[in-house]
Structure 1
Amino acid sequence: MSGDLIAFMRAMARASFVWGSCDCSLVMADWCRAKRGVDPAASLRGRYSTAAGAMRHVIRLGGFEAMGRSLMAGCGFSVTGAPRVGDVGLVTHPIVGPVFAIRCALGWAVKSPEGFAVDEYPTIVAWSV
């Protein structure tokens, strides 16, 4: 794992999980912004503060996959079938369902209230960063 990804993940692991500012979607988007200078979640920032509020946007934008594909394509990210360390994706968490994640050496890292949950979650779609 590259040094900048390690530093980013350490900082995000210490940050409190907060809907609308430090949740799985926005942490993934923060990584994209740090690496490529574009924010795929710019249109969502500050627009929700609860899980229900986040879901309203997901539903309004056609579901997790449609929302992710649209926002990522709008920022110029390309889909990859072979995600590498530092890439991002939409994965299926066995308890919460679809979540956005960052690929690290040990699997997919998902922001959680405890820091990061890391596992080989099934990939729905991934993007090269």
Structure 2
Amino acid sequence: MDIHEFLDLPHRFRWGGVGGDDCMTFPASWALTCIGIDPAADLRGTYRTKDEARAIIASHGGELVFMDVHLVPMGAKRVQQPQTGDIGLIKAMTGETMADQMETLIGAICFGPLWACIHPVGVRAKPAEFVAAWRLPC
């Protein structure tokens, strides 16, 4: 399955990555599709809220360490020039209402000059600043 087919699937936002994906399990689902390894396998179903997700990420030392811990053991390599299909940690505005909007670090998939990420209303591809990116082993 290529990136276009993956992004065209009927994705659904769900905290905990069961029956859908959240901002960190979405790129993990892409890795599972690409290489047959789920870097979020140990986490799926262990949390159900944003606060529980944040606690898990904090227990790893933050988003960057969290993603490194889950991607590097499966053979993903850090890259400076992301290409389509690479997994990234990006800066994005999140929040359920305009009053809740805040800059957050989330997982995403490089899609040309854009980054695809999961949102409560589905997958969105938008320009974003990336903090780090990893290339999956192929």
Identify unmatched segments of 5+ residues in structure 1: none
- Counterpart in the other structure of 2:13: 17
Aligned length: 125
* Aligned counterparts of 2:11 and 2:135: Cα–Cα separation in 1: 25
Residue aligning to 2:123: 116
Q: Does 1:38 align with 2:37?
A: yes
Q: Which residue of 2 aligns with 1:57?
A: 56
Contact 1:106 1:118 survives alignment (8 Å) = no
Whether the aligned pair in 1 keeps the contact of 2:92 and 2:104 (CA below 8 Å) is yes
User: For 1:117 and 1:31, how far apart are their aligned partners in 2?
Assistant: 15
Following superposition of structure 1 onto structure 2, how do residues 80-91 of structure 1 map, counting pairs within 5 Å?
A: 80-91=79-90
Higher helix share goes to which structure?
Answer: 1
Alpha-carbon separation, structure 2, partners of 1:118 and 1:65: 21
Give the CA deviation at 1:110: 1.0
Local SS of the residue matching 2:83: coil
RMSD, aligned CA: 1.3
Q: CA deviation at 1:91?
A: 0.5
Q: How far apart are 1:6 and its partner, in Å? A: 1.0
Superimposed CA distance per residue, residues 55-90 of structure 1 (whole angstroms, 9 cap, x where no aligned partner): 110011111011111111121110011110111110
Normalised by the size of structure 1, how large is the TM-score? 0.90
Moved beyond 3 Å, runs of 4+: none
SS of corresponding position for 2:47: coil
Q: CA deviation at 1:105?
A: 2.3
Q: Measure the CA separation in 1 of the matches of 2:53 and 2:63.
A: 11
| TM score, norm. by length of structure 2 | 0.85
Shift of 1:113: 1.0
Please state if 1:5 is matched with 2:13: no
